[in-house]
Chains A and B, each alone.
Chain A
Amino acid sequence: MHSEKQKHDFEPKIIAFVCTWCTYAGADLAGTSRMQYPANVRVLKFPCTGRIDPVFILKAFQQGADGVLVSGCHPGDCHYIAGNFHARRRFAAFRKLLEFIGVDLNRLQFSWVSAAEGGKWVEVVTDLTERVRAMGEMVEFKDLALEEQWSGSLNTPELQEAYDAI
């Protein structure tokens, strides 16, 4: 298990997008079981991996994440019947796009972690943190972040005007 006492030169920032039913609960289980893992990960909870827009992954990289984790229920166990299948299909295509724009795919991890797999959550987070630590800082997107700020809102007056004109 990773020792928290050990200090490194570079602490990667890891953002995890997880579904609330399986992986979030799995991470909770890791907590109640007092399993230890690196403190680099920040968890964002979604109802389902099907809700995770690939744009969020870009946004995370743009915002300074060095690694991104997407995790949900195992295939066939989706609380919403097939949301994780849609997510899997979407990300399979999205990986090619990321590769095309020059993001090292080793910075992006997809995994299935069930609510019973606290240990697997620790393993996945630890592995990704160590891998990204070895890769170093992700710089490519940080410059982009300075150029453009997307508010995430589509309700701008300009757009509304454009819509009304249609």
Chain B
Amino acid sequence: MSRIGVFVCHCGENISRTVDVEQVAAQAAKMPGVAFATDYKYMCSDPGQGLLKKAINEHRLTHVVVAACSPRMHERTFRKAVEQAGLNPFLCEMANIREHCSWVHEDRDEATRKATEIVGMLVERVKKNRVLPTITVPVTKRALVIGGGIAGIQAALDIADAGHQVVLVEREPSIGGHMAQLSETFPTLDCSQCIMTPKMVDVANHPNITMHTFSEIEQVDGYIGNFQVTIRKKARSVDEQKCTGCGVCMTKCPQKKIPNSFDRNLGMRTAIYVPFPQAVPNVPVIDRDNCSMFKSGKCGVCQKVCGPGAVDFEQEDRLVVEPVGAIVVATGFELYTIDKKPDDSAIVGYGEFGYGTIPDVIDGLTFERLASASGPTGGKILRPSDGKEPKQVVFIQCVGSRAREKGISYCSKICCMYTAKHTMLYHHKVHDGQAYVFFMDARVPGKNYDEFWRRAIEEEEAVYIRGMVSRLYQKGDKIVVMGSDIAVGVQVEVEADLVVLATAVMPRKGADTLAQKLGISYDKYHFYSEAHAKLKPVECATAGIYLSGACQGPKDIPDTVSQASAAAAKVMTLFAKDKLEREPIVAWVRESGCVGCFACKKVCAYGAVEEKEIRDRQGNLIKTVAYVNPGVCAGCGTCQATCPSKSVELDGYTDEQIVAMIEAL
């Protein structure tokens, strides 16, 4: 038999001015199951809470209803007080008679009646409340970072510096990502390699970081604090332990005409290669599609010349399982491939500007390689078709982005700045050259960004033309760019030697597949979704998984680095405790009733519902039922309302509790 205590608060005069609190308490005392009811001027004050604790002990109360303000305000306060008095905190409920009653009604009789009814409702509810134990989950203090670009590198270094083990997975043969491809960076024009490569080396040398390059995520199991990640280490055909990085194999390889994707296919590489000279780890990989040994079985030169005997044609993919407690996703971006329709998205190709058909139409990243001192031209701006120095260069912005009809409506954020940078780099290297920029808007809101953009126009003499390009075509060795200048209202035609397109920033190919493995959500463009756009910009809705960098949306380097450190901070917060405490408002399955339809699994946005086999003593399968992992469950209850056999219950909001409330009315 329950002995409920009802405590009605005056809230100074906030409640008692409109609601007859004494009468509410008197009415409550008559309700079935109520053993004690009283009113007090300030229930949340120290004496008020003392009164509550004293009453619990004196009247041997089993449940408590506090009729006061909104539970959003003081539920925690009163549950704590109840806990201190020796009761389970979840045996305390609050009746909101201030925000939902005294403050919104003027009529004293009506307000008093409503307050009494609200109390009655909560009295019936609290009778059905169960003792809920706090859920504790152990935490594995190791982090997984997916992606070895600047976002992943920064997050990994921060977490590792805090003393935690980090597993870094990169799918390319070297870490570095897109930042390693850049020439100079805005708005300071410092050399990307100079600031990036030391960080890459730090990662390689850090005692707390385990690096898996040329590897991909195969499978992710578990939940916050307890993930099991299976990593596929693709066959490099070179033993990482034995290789000294001398590079003899690369100089002797007879296959020398393979386009180097790191140089955006401008330069050539061998079949056994490192993507760029400063690669980390400095261990080559054999490109099996282009290697004679793998194609025809004839060659093996690299193996013969390799002193340490590191080349291993027999090597196979290996699976490694790493237990981790938190995951940072930093898979980055790629540029819109405008020459053909990307096969894994609904986005229509963007062929108007001749990319892929006219050799001297290139994208921004290719221009970075042309301008880079370590690039295929040694930092000279030379056009790809004939290696001549271009005297007139046209830059076109918003190619593919901000074009709803082409399938991408968002702004790619970085192009205004990198185009301004490109015009400067061009002007610094080709003094008699002229840069033209066709733009729609200039979006340069970062620190020192507007100054940088204006410098491109005012000091570096780039000609900015507001208007879009309608058409371009090859005429002899020139490219004629036709567009409009809407500021003046005239048609413009420029004969260019080189055209650089600022193409849309898109998530990495396969971002959706990875999201499905991780159980995180993504938007229609396949950028990963944060838990809350404003207040949880780093967390995923799935607990224990954090986002960093351009995998979440277009970002420049400063933003990416800030977010990477923020993600690292979140991971460290998680690792600060040995055990994770969670509110016990989670769902559970009544196995006797579950028929294993898994409708609950389909609606669960958190992937908290698992399949569980029930076997008899002989080990024969009786049936497969749903199981809610309390570590993952967020407590929304969508599964419960969905379950056709009513076999799922959400603690704290059980059918019994809700129906008791409805019946009390």
Contacts and interface: CB of A to CB of B under 8 A. Distances in A.
Interface of A: 4-5, 13, 15, 20, 24-25, 27-28, 30-32, 34-37, 39, 42-48, 50-54, 56, 59-60, 63-65, 79-83, 86-87, 90, 122, 150-154, 160, 163-164
A82 B605 contact: yes
Given A28-B72, A44-B661, A44-B662, A39 B638 contact: no
Contacts of A15: 662, 665
B347 interface: no
A1 to B, nearest CB: 10
Interface in B43-93: 70-72
Contacts of A39: 101, 104-105, 107, 110-111, 113-114
Nearest to B118: A42
Pick from A63, A82, A152 the residue with the most CB of B within 10 Å: A152
Contacts of B646: 154
A154 B650 CA distance: 14
Given A27-B99, A163-B592, A163-B593, A63 B665 contact: yes
Nearest to B658: A56
Pick from B70, B636, B658 the residue with the most CB of A within 10 Å: B636
B650 A47 contact: yes
Given A31-B98, A34-B104, 10 more contacts: A5-B106, A5-B107, A39-B101, A42-B117, A53-B658, A90-B642, A151-B659, A153-B655, A154-B590, A164-B592
B70 A31 contact: yes
A13 B114 CA distance: 11
Given A36-B104, A51-B641, A152 B658 contact: yes
Contacts of B640: 51, 53
Interface in B126-185: none
B433 interface: no
Nearest to A34: B103
A4 B110 contact: yes
Contacts of B665: 13, 15, 42, 60, 63-65
A35 B105 CA distance: 8
B106 A50 contact: no
A31 B19 CA distance: 14
Contacts of A79: 636
Given A15-B662, A80-B638, A154 B103 contact: no
Contacts of A46: 637, 653, 658
B432 interface: no
A160 B592 contact: yes
Sort chain B's interface into a size bin.
Answer: 35 or more
B471 to A, nearest CB: 38
Contacts of A32: 99, 103
A154 B106 contact: no
A83 B605 contact: yes
Closest 4 CB pairs of A and B: A51-B637, A31-B99, A152-B659, A50-B638
A153 B649 CA distance: 11
Contacts of A54: 641
B118 A36 contact: no
B104 A31 contact: yes
Interface string B641-657: 11000100010110110
B636 A152 contact: no
Nearest to B652: A47
Nearest to A122: B104
Given A31-B99, A39-B111, A50 B663 contact: no
B609 to A, nearest CB: 14
Nearest to B602: A86
A60 B663 CA distance: 8
Interface string B463-497: 00000000000000000000000000000000000
B662 A86 contact: no
A148 to B, nearest CB: 13
A53 B656 contact: no
A128 to B, nearest CB: 15
A47 B658 CA distance: 12
B236 to A, nearest CB: 39
A13 B652 CA distance: 25
B104 A43 contact: no
A51 B592 CA distance: 22
A51 B653 contact: yes
Nearest to B120: A42
Contacts of A160: 592
Nearest to B661: A44
A50 B636 contact: yes
Contacts of A82: 605, 638
A79 B539 CA distance: 13
A47 B103 contact: no
A92 B508 CA distance: 37
B100 interface: yes
Contacts of A4: 105-107, 110
Nearest to A55: B655
B213 interface: no
A5 B636 CA distance: 40
B104 A30 contact: yes
Interface string B615-655: 00000000000000000001111101110001000101101
Contacts of B603: 50, 86
A80 B659 contact: no
Nearest to A58: B662
Contacts of B606: 81
B636 A51 contact: yes
B543 to A, nearest CB: 12
Contacts of B605: 80-83
A164 B70 CA distance: 44
B641 A90 contact: yes
Contacts of A164: 592
B96 interface: yes
Given A56-B662, A160-B592, A48 B638 contact: yes
A59 B659 contact: yes
Contact of B541 (A36, A42, A65, A81): A81
B521 interface: yes
B638 A83 contact: yes
B72 A44 contact: no
Contacts of A44: 121, 658, 661-662
A87 B118 CA distance: 25
Contacts of A45: 71
B662 A63 contact: yes
B435 interface: no
Contact of B637 (A42, A47, A65): A47
B663 A37 contact: no
